[in-house]
Amino acid sequence: MWLSEPVQLACSLCQRVQNGLISKTSDGVQSKDDNSPVTVADWSVQATVSWILSESFGSSNVSIVAEEDIQNLSKAKADGVLETVVKTVNECLAEAPRYGLNGPKMALGTTEVLEAISRCNSIGGPAGRFWALDPVDGTLGFVRGDQYAIALALIEDGEVVLGVLGCPNYPMRKEWLNYHHRYHRIISKLTPSTSESWDKGCVIYARRGLAHSVGLRKQPLRVYSMVKYAAIARGDAEIFMKFARAGYKEKIWDHAAGVVIIQEAGGVVTDAGGRPLDFSKGIYLEGLDRGVIASAGANLHDKIIRAVDASWDSSAL
């Protein structure tokens, strides 16, 4: 099994949820303790990917760091959402053979789905092998019908060695990244369905040491989530910078897959001090200097680092 298949399956799941639950009813959206939205898709993707990895490699050999836990999902008031998650997971796994994957012999029950989600309880660290999964990176973009990504990365002894990014709404024409996805859908309905202009969705992957290089071009874009990493790897953008508010800690699942994909495409990702991101300290990117900077190439990256240093004290960054 190549790891793009579980992410492709997860993309299919997210498209179904976004086109159904989220667009027609608010029942598919809950709130986490930090007030960020979490949807049926988050839990369903986490359960699906966890189940597939465990079935493929053996549950005792799979350690996963992931964003969601089952606390909110298990609450009594979330009973309706839990039922929907179980249904969504089973509908998704029924499609597994289409992606060259083995599905369950019989539908998973509620307990099995909760076990798959809660199995993602690794805390990472500097030694050993573990997976970093962000089931829906950019949940706000997902809820709004805009850009989001499914991100899966394999980390060995603190180094990201494999990354997969699924971007279901990424348009094949990069110009459409500048428009809200709903506008894209309205305009696409006014043109022939055979038009390639409205094709969307991609899965980008890289294994360290096996580069998938692409041409890189200048084009400023505004997009949600790790789709920004995908835009640089595809050559649709050259730089992105993220400087979080004071006290915020970046989580490894928000960057791991995107970092290795950009690096294998010939780009560079560091903190604002020019140091590589450290994935060996647990679930957070500890010791981060100010923020994250990703660039299409080394020369450009050096210029950006110098420019940030020169302007930092006088800026509002």
Domains of the chain plus CATH, in order, are 1-121 (3.30.540.10), 125-317 (3.40.190.80)
What is residue 205's predicted lDDT score, i.e. its pLDDT?
81
Residue-level pLDDT at 156: 92
Cα 101 to Cα 7, 94, 104, 202: the distances in Å are 11, 10, 10, 19
Write down the pTM of the prediction.
Answer: 0.69
Torsion sign (Cα): 128, 129, 131, 132: positive
Residue 185's nearest CA partner among 197, 311, 108, 21 is: 197
- CB atoms < 10 A from the CB of 106, how many? 7
pLDDT at position 78 is: 65
Residues 6+ apart with CB under 8 A from 29: 22, 37, 38, 39, 143
Q: Does residue 134 have a known ligand-binding role? A: yes
Annotated catalytic sites, by residue?
42, 139
User: What residues contact 19, with CB distance under 8 A and at least 6 apart?
Assistant: none
Kind plus residue range of the DSSP H or E element containing 180: none
Q: Which helix (H) or strand (E) holds 108?
A: none
Sort strands 129-137 and 64-66 into parallel, antiparallel or unpaired.
Answer: parallel
* Alpha helices, H only, 214-315: 227-234, 256-264, 298-311
Q: Are 92 and 9 in contact (CB under 8 A)?
A: yes
Q: Compute how many other C-beta atoms are within 10 angstroms of the C-beta atom of residue 221.
A: 17
Q: What is the DSSP letter of 107?
A: -
Question: How many other CB atoms sit within 10 Å of the CB of residue 95?
Answer: 15
Cα–Cα distance measured from residue 255 to residue 103, given in angstroms and rounded to the nearest whole number: 29
For residue 289, say whether it is annotated as part of any ligand binding site.
no
Amino acid at the residue 94:
A
* β-strand pairing of 64-66 with 29-31: unpaired
Give residue 239's pLDDT. 78
Q: What is the pLDDT of residue 266?
A: 84
What dihedral do alpha carbons 42, 47, 50, 55 form, nearest 10°? -150
254 in a known ligand binding site: yes
Beta strands (DSSP E) in the chain are 29-31, 37-39, 64-66, 129-137, 149-156, 159-171, 200-207, 239-242, 268-271, 292-295
* Rounded CA separation 73/158 (Å): 31
Give the C-alpha separation, 156 to 179, whole Å.
Answer: 38
Q: Give whole-number Cα distances, 225 to 36, 96, 149, 196, 278, in Å.
A: 14, 26, 6, 25, 20
CB 249 within 8 A of CB 255: no
pLDDT score of 59: 80
pLDDT confidence of residue 247: 79
Q: Give the chain's residues under pLDDT 50.
A: 195, 211-221, 315-317
159 annotated ligand binder: no
Token pair of 243, please?
Answer: 């400087």
Query: What span, in angstroms and rounded, lies between the C-alpha atoms of 64 and 98?
Result: 25
Residue 53 pLDDT: 94
d(CA 112, CA 316): 48
pLDDT at residue 190, as a whole number: 62
